[in-house]
């Protein structure tokens, strides 16, 4: 019993240290990595929604309601929001067009947001390494809300839920692309149509 009494504070202290390592959503390496893949905290006087956490610098939104502001910004920027996953071959094949768009419109009022629908258990093992290896310049966020039927229509009533899917909007005008994007010209045409 005496050993138990002496070990209890040590065990409790270790437990606090271990569990507090994950208590802060964005620390150290995650904050540094978030600079390239995460959306800016504020752009054109528009507040970006705070994530629940960061994994590998990628903002994680546990519920669609947390990320929903990404679909309602009311400013002079055109938003190109792509839904994708690392396990989706057509999604990965079209990513270069979004990256090309990001580079071509740098400094202009066009913003690409890549919304990963990867499985939450794979954010750290697949998504973060994928984004890092490819040095994606577009803003990348991850949405962990698997209740797709509850929120898909909030993005677009045209969306069946299949990915890849792209939602392009500026204020109250929007266009939905429910198939793979085949070129940057296709994305530019969607932007011009608004």
Question: For 64-111, what is each residue's pLDDT tens digit?
Answer: 999 999 898 999 999 999 999 999 999 999 999 999 999 999 999 999
Closest alpha carbon to 95 in 110, 105, 83, 106: 83
Q: 163 burial class (0-12, 13-18, 19+ CB within 10 angstroms)?
A: buried
Q: Is residue 58 included in any domain, yes or no?
A: yes
Is 152 part of a structural domain of the chain? yes
Residue at 11 is within a domain:
no
pLDDT in tens, 15-72: 333 333 333 333 333 433 433 455 554 455 567 899 999 999 999 999 999 999 989 8
Mean pLDDT, residues 148-169: 96
- Note whether residue 48 is domain-resident: yes
* Residue given tokens 């938003």 in the structure block: 79
Better-scored residue on pLDDT, 135 or 23: 135
C-alpha span between 161 and 15 (Å, rounded): 41
8 in any annotated domain:
no
The pLDDT, as a whole number, for residue 47 is 74
Q: Strands, E, within 9-90: which ranges?
A: 42-43, 46-47, 53-55, 58-61, 78-84
Length of the chain: 194
Q: Within a domain: residue 1?
A: no
Q: Is residue 12 part of a domain?
A: no
Residue 40 Cα distances to 9, 83, 86, 140, angstroms: 42, 19, 23, 11
Measured distance CA(157)–CA(194) in Å, rounded: 18
**Which domain, by its residues, includes 159?**
25-192
User: Considering its fold, how many domains does the chain have in total?
Assistant: 1
Any domain includes 47: yes
The 10s digit of each residue's pLDDT in 138-156 is 999 999 999 999 999 999 9
pTM, to two decimals = 0.79
Confidence of residue 187 (pLDDT cuts 50, 70, 90): very high
Which CATH number covers residue 96?
A: 3.40.30.10
């Amino acid at each position: 019993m005496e050993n138990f009494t002496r070990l209890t504070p040590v065990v409790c202290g270790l437990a606090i240290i271990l569990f507090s390592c994950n208590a802060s959503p964005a620390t150290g390496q995650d904050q540094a990595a978030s600079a390239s893949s995460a959306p800016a905290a504020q752009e054109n006087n528009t507040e970006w929604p705070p994530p629940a956490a960061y994994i590998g610098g990628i903002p994680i939104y546990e519920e669609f309601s947390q990320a929903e502001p990404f679909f309602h910004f009311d400013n002079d920027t055109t938003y190109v929001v792509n839904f994708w996953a690392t396990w989706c071959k057509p999604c990965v094949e079209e990513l270069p067009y979004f990256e090309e768009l990001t580079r071509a419109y740098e400094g202009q009022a066009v913003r690409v947001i890549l919304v990963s629908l990867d499985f939450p258990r794979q954010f750290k093992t697949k998504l973060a390494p994928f984004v890092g290896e490819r040095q994606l310049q577009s803003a990348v966020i991850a949405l962990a809300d698997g209740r797709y039927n509850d929120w898909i229509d909030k993005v677009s009533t045209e969306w069946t839920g299949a990915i890849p899917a792209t939602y392009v909007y500026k204020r109250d005008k929007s266009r939905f692309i429910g198939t793979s994007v085949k070129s940057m010209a296709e994305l530019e045409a969607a932007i011009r149509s608004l």
